[in-house]
Every structure is written in C-alpha cells, then in structure tokens.
Amino acid sequence: MENSFNSGDILKLESLIELAQILGQQGDYDEILRLIVEKASQFVSSDSALVMMINPKTRDTIKTIYAQRSADDEQNHFIHINVSGWVIINNHSLLSQNIKSDNRFRKNLFEKSIVKSTLGVPFKVENVIIGTLLLLNDESNSSFSESDLSLLEKFSAVVSPFLHCTQSIAQYFIAPLPKQTLLSKYAMLGLLGKSKKFIELLQAIDAAARCDVRILLEGESGTGKELVAKAVHKLSTRSKNKFVAIDCGAIQPNLVESELFGHIKGAFTGALSDRKGLLEEANGGTLFMDEINNLPVDMQSKLLRVLQDEEIRPVGSNKIRKVNVRIISASSLSLQKLVFQKNFREDLYYRLNVYPIFVPPLSERAGDIPMLADYFLNKFSAKQEKEIEGFSEEVLDFMKLHHWTGNIRELENCVERLVTLTTRKQKFIDKKILPLELQKELKKLKKNFTDIPITKSLSESLADYEEELIRKTLIGVKWNQSKAARVLGISEHDIRYKMKKLKIKRA
C-alpha cells in the first residue's frame, strides 16, 4: 500500500508535533496564543490570522491576538468578528472562497474590504467552544481550499488542549469537588474554613493547580497567600520539584538581582563563591514571589525577560542558563492600580496575571474564626505542653466580633499569646487573660449590645442594629459601597436597597 502523505504533508505534521512540544513547556498564556496564531498562518499560508478566546459561559471575548496585521486592519477586524460569530453560533467550521458574495452573511456587509477568502475553525475542549481561529487571504492571493480547511481543523484539534487555562475557561470545565471532599482535601494542606468565601477560594485553587500557568494572588496582608501558593504547588504537576519563596519587600534593592539570578565568585565585594539564584534553585518547580509590588523597577524589566525567554544570566557571568519555573506572585496592593500610577510595568503585570485569585480578608470569613482559633489553640497548646480544652464563651464571642486588621496572622499571634499567658492548671482561656486593650474592646462591644432599648419590638430593635452596623461599616470603608457590601457579605444591590430603606446617607 502506498503512503498517502507527500513530503509537504510530512513537514507540516512534523511542525505540528514540534509546536505541541513547545506549547506543552510554555507557561505564558499570551505567548501560547501568539505562537498559535503565528504558526497557523504558516501552517496554512495566509495574509492575516486571528485567535479569539471566549468565556464558554457568557461568550464574552477574553482575548484576541493577531498575526500579519495589514493596512486594512479595521475591515479585517470587522470580518473576524462576523466570521467568529458565525463559527460560534453554528458550532461549525467555515470556508468562504469569496466572502463578499457569501450568502451566509448580509449582502454588501464586506464590500469595502480587500479580503477575498476566509477560513474559520473553532477551538474546542470537551466539545465546548472556547475560541476561534481565523485566516484571511486578500484579493491578490488565491482562495482557500477544502484541503486548507482540513489542515486547519487538524491544527485546531492539536492545539486546543493547551488553551483551557484561563480562569473563566478552566473553572467552566473543571467540575467542582463536593463541598466536604474539598474542605477535607485542603484541611490536610493547612487551609481551614467552611464559609462561602473560603469555599470559592478553594475552588479557584483547585482549578489553578491543574493548569501550569502563572498565578497572581491579591489580598490583604496576613490572609495566607503563601499557604495558597504552597497548596497550588503541592497539587500541581510540579510537586516533585522545589517550592521556593522570596519576599520582595524584605530584600535590599541592590541584592534582589543576585538573590533571583545568582552570582559567580568575584562578581562583587563579598561574592566569595558561585551561588545559585532562586530562579535556578526552583527550576522545574515553583517560585513564589511575595509582595512583588515592591520589586525594583529595573528588576521588573529583567524579570520580564526571564518570563519571555526562560533564560537567566548570573551576576558577573556571561553564560546563559535555561530555566523552567512556574511563577506564583502575590501582592497586598492592587497591581492594576500601581500600573495606572506608573509604579509597575504594564507588560509584566499582564505576564504575571494569567490566572488571578483573590484571597479574602478574615472580615469576609467571620464564620471561619472559631475553627481557625481552635486550630491555633491545639497547635500552641501542644508546643507549650499545656492541656487547654478551649476558649470561654466570652472570648470566642469577642474573637468573632473583633475586626482582625492583620487577618489570620494577627489571629494566630493573638492565640499564641493567650496560650502563653494561660497557666498549666487552666482548662479554658478566660477573658481575664486578654491583653488590657482587648479587654477594653470586649467591654465596649458588650455595652453596645446591652444598650439596645427594650421598649422596642424585636423587628424595630433589629432594624436599629442593622442601620448602625451598615452605617459604621460604610464609615469604616469611607463610604465605598462595594467594599461595605463585601465586608457585610451582601451584594451591592442589597446594600443600596438597605441604605434607601433605612435612609442612610453620607453626612
């Protein structure tokens, strides 16, 4: 039997295999899309190409990447939008040898364009469309053929599995674990809680762990971002290799480069021997860059080059070393705001923010406080060889009502302090050993509750308390309704409704 492949087909097959190998090693989502759109335009010769990724649930456009953009960009984009829409709605590939006379589109829709022929194929994962790939040929070029369409469909089938790792796409496909299974799985990794916000966080971590892409963790200081990063690493395909952490805010700016890239002997005063940098130490594994908002501007550009080229050069050396590291970065400040303020590179922000995860503050997880407090109590009781059974009811109530500005870290430090102050004879932590400032706060909180007038009905008293709580929360967040809603665990619509109903206005 004769081989049905000609030499051109074999070369294309080899290039497709090579592309799949490259995509499998690539952790940058934008770079994956760029490689795909460039290779597609070479795989099936064309004048212009576009990849458009969508949210499978809402069908909103997530990202578009062009290759070989021409002078007729506006018209090309118009065609791309319409053809992509047709492919998505019809769940089918499209070949149009003359787009201007194609009766699948409104007459004269493309009359101003110089485009002659177009190919459109869907990207699918588990038979769900997650995006489209389009090729265009101008009037100066030949029309696409059925064999071109067949080739592009094969191309799409090979690259589609590499495209599911954006947050919206990954969470669409990865079925959430049953609640109890999820809680048990992460409790073993030190992540404890049961509140709605906490479960949403675990679901995001679970989806992220299965995608080998960069993650940006944002949230207040003390919320446990490093613990989240460790959980992602532990559950990822990189778990057999190292997890390495660096606090970008704790290192002197002039030492950051040496810390990340390493140095050779004699590179600077004090460099008495060669030393590996953290990027090389984490090769094959994960590098967690905490407080990346503190990374010096000159180092931001150097880190960007590492993410683009996967190469490092130790300080003082002229030799390049290849590295393959997953970067999980964290910031207690909004990197997007820092970008707007010109304090953080925009291109680096987009490279890092492939899969964003928000780690909620303890104020949004008040229901988790008793569980966390018990965990820390057992931990420090064992460490100090004390047999403390629990907290008094008053202390536990105080913990639930106190605003933990330092989040989980502050709660942990507080429990350790209470265990230290408790004698070996005491079985419960009593309010008497609370620090003086906390005793004053507890007294004030109790007074607030005992001051509710008994001359009013329950519904009237609850309305008074609700009004006071909402007003105090709004004042605390400087009347930012979005933040107040988040703190109170209600929607923005609900807080606006309650403000109107209770006649709460800014003074």
pLDDT at 171: 59
pLDDT at 71: 47
Task: Name which residue leads in pLDDT, 177 or 96.
Answer: 96
pTM higher than 0.85: no
Please indicate whether the domains covering 7-163 and 364-450 agree at the CATH topology level.
no
Q: In whole angstroms, give the CA distance from residue 396 to residue 469.
A: 20
pLDDT tens for 277-334 read 999 999 999 999 999 999 999 999 999 999 888 899 998 888 899 999 999 999 999 9
Split at pLDDT 50, 70, 90, the class of 10 is: low
* Per-domain residue ranges of the chain: 7-163, 174-360, 364-450, 458-501
Cβ proximity of 303 and 260 under 8 Å: yes
pLDDT tens for 216-254 read 999 999 999 999 999 999 999 899 999 999 999 899 888
pLDDT tens for 474-501 read 887 888 888 888 777 777 777 888 888 8
Which CATH number is 174-360 given? Answer: 3.40.50.300
Q: What is the DSSP pairing of strand 326-331 with strand 286-290?
A: parallel
Residue 5 has pLDDT above 80, yes or no: no
Q: In whole angstroms, give the CA distance from residue 439 to residue 420.
A: 17
Q: Please give the class, per CATH, of domain 458-501.
A: mainly alpha
Q: In whole angstroms, give the CA distance from residue 60 to residue 400.
A: 40
The superfamily (CATH) of domain 7-163 is: GAF domain (3.30.450.40)
Cβ proximity of 268 and 315 under 8 Å: yes
Q: Is the dihedral of CA 278, 284, 288, 292 positive or negative?
A: positive
Cβ proximity of 174 and 207 under 8 Å: yes
3-state SS, residue 289: strand
Q: Give the mean model confidence (pLDDT) for residues 395-419.
A: 88
Which CATH number is 364-450 given? Answer: 1.10.8.60
Residue in 216, 212, 236 with CA at minimum distance from that of residue 225: 216
Max CA-CA distance within the chain?
98
Split at pLDDT 50, 70, 90, the class of 121 is: very high
